[in-house]
Chains A and B, each alone.
Chain A
Amino acid sequence: MLYIKCPYCGLRAQKEFSYGGDATVKRPNINEEISSEDWDNFVYMRKSPRGKHIELWQHIAGCRQWIKVQRDTATHEIFQTAKVTEEIR
């Protein structure tokens, strides 16, 4: 079970969080014209890297904030966590 540092609450067990996928994906702006290829890439295409991955987690049984977590997908090492408004590296 991972041990995740919520930037608002501190270190908490993984049980309190839910996973939200790649944090670097940016949703196209509302009302913006977009090619169907770009849209499909946004909806469906995700990288599955081995190693460092910046991802979203929500502290669902805590402060309910979505946060960014930089995790190694192979070792589960967590390098950094941040508020979604902050940059990781």
Chain B
Amino acid sequence: MSQPFRLNKEGLINRNKKISFTFNGKKLFGYEGDTIASALIANGIHLVGRSFKYHRPRGFFGAGVEEPNAKLQVEFNGHSEPNVNATEMELVEGLSATSQNCWPSVNFDVGAINNFLKMFFPAGFYYKTFMWPKSFWYKIYEPFIRKAAGLGVASIEKDKERYEHKFEYCDLLVTGSGPSGLASAYAAAKNGAKVILAEDKPRFGGTLLTDDVSIDNLSGKDWAEKIISELKSMPNVTVKNRSQVFGYYDHNMLVMFERVSDHLEKKSKFIPRQRLWYIRAKETILSTGSIERPIVFGNNDTPGIFLSAAAKEYMKVYGVLVGKKPLIFTNNDSAYETALEFKKNNVEPIILDTREEHSSELIDEAKSKGIDIRFTHGVIVANGYKKVKSAKIGKLNKDKNSFEKIETIECDCICVSGFWTPSVHLASQSGNKLKYEEKIDAFIPDKKKQHETSVGAANGSFTLEESLKHGFENGSNLSAKITETKTEISIPNVNEKKYGAHDKFWCMPLPKNENPKRFVDFQNDVSVSDIEIALREGYRSIEHVKRYTTLGMATDQGRTSNLNGLQLVSNIENKIVPEVGHTTFRPPFTPITIGTIVGREVGMEYMPTRKTPMHEWHEKNNAVFVDAGVWKRPRYYKQGSETLFEASKREAKNVRENVGICDVTTLGKIDIKGPDAAEFLNRVYTNAWMKLPVGKARYGLMLREDGIVMDDGTTTRISENHYHMTTTTAQAANVLSHLEYYLQIVWPELNVNVVSTTEQWAGAAIAGPKSREMLSKLYPDLDVSNEALPFMGYKEAEFFGVPSRIFRISFSGELAYEINVKSDHGMFMWEKMMEVGKEFGNQPYGTEALSTLRIEMGHVAGPELDGRTIPSDVSLNGLVSKKKDFIGKNSLGREAFNVESRQKIVGLIPIDRKSSIPEGSHIVQDQNAKLPNPKLGHVSSSCWSVENNNPFSLAIMKDGKNMIGKKFFAVSPLKNKSIEVEVISSHYVDPEGKRVRS
């Protein structure tokens, strides 16, 4: 169980704690503090996956978020998660990782044949090839591509973990704990500002952990530790590791993804797995650092090729060697630090430097240590299929477009450095238009749109001294503006190595007659020739080139490929990079789990659940519930083995024959008070309201300004200046906003107040021919005769000692009442009604029976008032006053609303009197007509008429009233049904409305 590439001492891992895990079934171990990547490399494993398009063998390239290749399927703590970045995921006991995008195995991959057929997979391949014949797409092309090119596999198990959302506010959010971030956070904290410092990695310090520097005579790592422990002790500071700020949204709202417990072996069930933070920051410091840029050369995707800083990080943080015969390929000084680190660990590197021989602090040090340096040299092509074995290297000519000398040297890894790219994603997301900084050949933030300031390497400052200075200054100045306190901080003394200038060279030429793939974007397999093809085929805008070649479109968002892609386009087009422009950066910066986005809003917590005060009774009595907005309403009360159809028929029939009660608590209720209340209602409703006496209710219809029906309901005059309005369950919130709009903005001169009282009252409807008898038993002391309490009458009375309101209103078309009591008394009322109603054959009825009752009466509801109908469409023009003005009145005169053939409500019955007509069916003249078959209308509501014992539907139909007596077909392609129907009046039962007045 030895780890051949683990150093004896180096690193920040905990060597006292071994962690066992498996990779593709093989048992391995690493240490606490390892990532999957560092543990695998320590075990000498480099081949971890296959590439997306050509299925080429791929290994690790980076050591963090920049990793384009090493995405694994990982199982741990009972999860199976696809596309996990092996360079970021911390090792936990029992973890099992497998390669993805390979079949049958990573070592022998059938799809790798694509690699040998690569001439068939150029840019735009998918667009060009799979277009024809069309019928091949679903059966042949699509399954093939899916099997061959899939990423990981998403779990279909229910996620048992807990995810949280957190809302936080702060003065200063600092994103990244490298030197500039630490300095900013520290300075702001000293000024008393509320600071959040977020670090993506498990360890704080950023480059301070790997760079050979000292600050105030402390090593970078020790200084970082000192600052962090001081920050942690301050009450105004929140310090978070394993937390990636991935999105910058409007008004300085940033979103952060915290990995709370994935790294823990044991955890309390009260700790979430991951947490999403919504942070509203007054100011933001973007100290996101920079990512090393590769140099493009032949077969540069072979396992064993690393970014040079990643190789250094593996040594310094994890105590792991990425190889024992390293070749360092660079255009700048920073890779010399990697070479020196190898040397320190007794490994002999060879440096290939594309620059002319010259002197600098680092070059001189490398020379003095005896390191083999070859100037004006570079790697032409890496040899080895599953691992680098050697490299063909060349001495470049003066123009760097051909070679003076070519030779092959042995190596087991290549560490490449093409200088540094500031991580400007968050700045760009905030709306900052970036500018191209020629000195560093990269984009840096320019004019800001929001309260953000980039510092350190993210702003293009690559020296420690400058980064610290920027950090302290900006942290101090930005926070002082907020806290109005300024604490002087002396900027520490820094000891660091001076870098010389880099070479503006990023793509190795190829010798004649050699044509290995040179990859620009590893994750999406985009090569130099793909970009050349796109340009040859006429794509010019970088956004088009990006989409055609898929450059930078993978989950790594082109962190290591964007600039090299731009550079290539600019070289071919003979433009400078800023003219080519850059593509847009979008959140999330790194992939985040769906669970975190969803948070706690799953299952029962997906929406609020509103229950009426009688809910428990319904539950106990076998109610089957239906969602009505956020309310739970009984749909029917199941008796024995009844179906929905049987139960609703029984309940509706009982209302027609005896009496039934229905929980109507969910209806919207609005209290309207004030001396101008009558005038207000008169403007809101289409009918007249000025003369409604106290103690009377009226049915009202309200329109939108465009003449479309908005809602209907009854409103009762409780006292002189007090009205009680009811709305449909669905429109309750909209109607309240609508009323508030007119009172606050349009007619502020009206002295009226409105407030929702929906939750204040529990309501029950008593409907059926025996409802008056039942009512008289409920109110033994009250005169409930037709004379004393007529249709649309209102009374207040005690209900067994409890104050109540009695409305004589009806939705079912039967003689009916509605009783309201305070919510707390709802259950009491309901139980009393069930008790008293027994002798009259009372039964509770649900929404399904309620619908049946209203449909066969021709009462319109939501399906008819669907946002497209005006009053005359649904036979409610009798409620539209000709004399007064009201909201929407002027629109009713519009031409299209008044044509004779306009859609109108009608009734439909099937010719066979048996076949139910599916809701949503289209009404057509000829069921066999050629498509598109002209549509004459649609079926809005359907029921089984309990009165006539056959199906009945309401429909909205062109020229409706003139169609009565004619026959059509109601077709539902969805249900594969076509039913011959006859058009009749929409009032199928009691068309004169005698019952409600009886």
Contacts and interface: CB of A to CB of B under 8 A. Distances in A.
B885 A58 contact: no
B741 A36 contact: no
Interface range for A: 20 to 34
B449 interface: yes
Nearest to A60: B737
Contact of B280 (A3, A18, A78, A85): A3
A34 B890 contact: yes
Interface string A42-54: 1110000000000
A53 B926 CA distance: 52
Interface string A35-75: 01001001110000000000010101000111000000001
Contact of B890 (A2, A3, A36, A85): A36
B893 interface: yes
B251 A75 contact: no
Given A30-B683, A36-B893, A43-B706, A58 B253 contact: no
B740 A1 contact: no
A18 B745 contact: no
Contacts of A58: 737, 740-741
B741 A2 contact: no
Contact of B253 (A3, A27, A42): A3
B250 A2 contact: yes
Contact of A39 (B249, B740, B890): B890
A1 B737 contact: no
Interface string A19-41: 01000000110111010100100
A84 interface: yes
Given A58-B737, A84-B744, A3 B252 contact: yes
A64 B449 contact: no
Nearest to A1: B253
Given A20-B741, A43-B891, A58-B741, A2 B251 contact: yes
A60 B746 CA distance: 18
A85 B743 CA distance: 12
Contact of A66 (B449, B705, B745): B745
A3 B891 contact: no
B143 interface: no
Contacts of B745: 56, 66, 84
A77 B448 CA distance: 12
A85 B449 CA distance: 31
Contact of B431 (A39, A75, A84): A75
Interface in B957-979: none
Contact of A42 (B251, B683, B705, B744): B705
A1 B746 CA distance: 29
B885 A65 contact: no
B737 A18 contact: yes
Interface in B744-779: 744-748
Residue with the highest number of chain B CB atoms closer than 10 Å, among A34, A43, A84: A43
A78 B746 CA distance: 24
B375 interface: no
B278 interface: yes
Interface in B865-903: 884-885, 890-891, 893-894
Interface string B729-746: 000000001001100111
Contact of B251 (A30, A32, A66, A76): A76
Contacts of A3: 250-253, 280
Given A66-B741, A66-B745, A1 B890 contact: no
A56 to B, nearest CB: 7
Contacts of B278: 1
Nearest to B890: A39
Contacts of A76: 250-251
A77 B705 CA distance: 31
B89 to A, nearest CB: 30
Contacts of B884: 31
A73 B737 CA distance: 24
Given A30-B885, A66-B740, A1 B747 contact: no
A20 B746 CA distance: 13
B250 A1 contact: yes
B817 to A, nearest CB: 32
Interface in B431-482: 431, 449
Interface of B: 167, 249-253, 278, 280, 431, 449, 683, 705-706, 737, 740-741, 744-748, 884-885, 890-891, 893-894
Given A43-B705, A60-B737, 19 more contacts: A1-B253, A1-B278, A2-B250, A3-B252, A3-B280, A13-B167, A27-B705, A28-B890, A36-B890, A36-B894, A43-B706, A43-B891, A58-B741, A65-B744, A75-B431, A77-B449, A78-B251, A84-B745, A84-B748
Report the 3 A-B pairs with minimum CB-CB distance, sorted nearest first: A3-B251, A39-B890, A76-B250
28 contacts: A1-B250, A1-B251, A3-B251, A3-B280, A18-B737, A20-B741, A27-B746, A28-B890, A30-B885, A31-B885, A34-B890, A36-B890, A42-B705, A43-B891, A44-B706, A56-B745, A58-B741, A60-B737, A64-B740, A65-B744, A75-B431, A75-B449, A76-B250, A76-B251, A84-B744, A84-B745, A84-B748, A85-B748
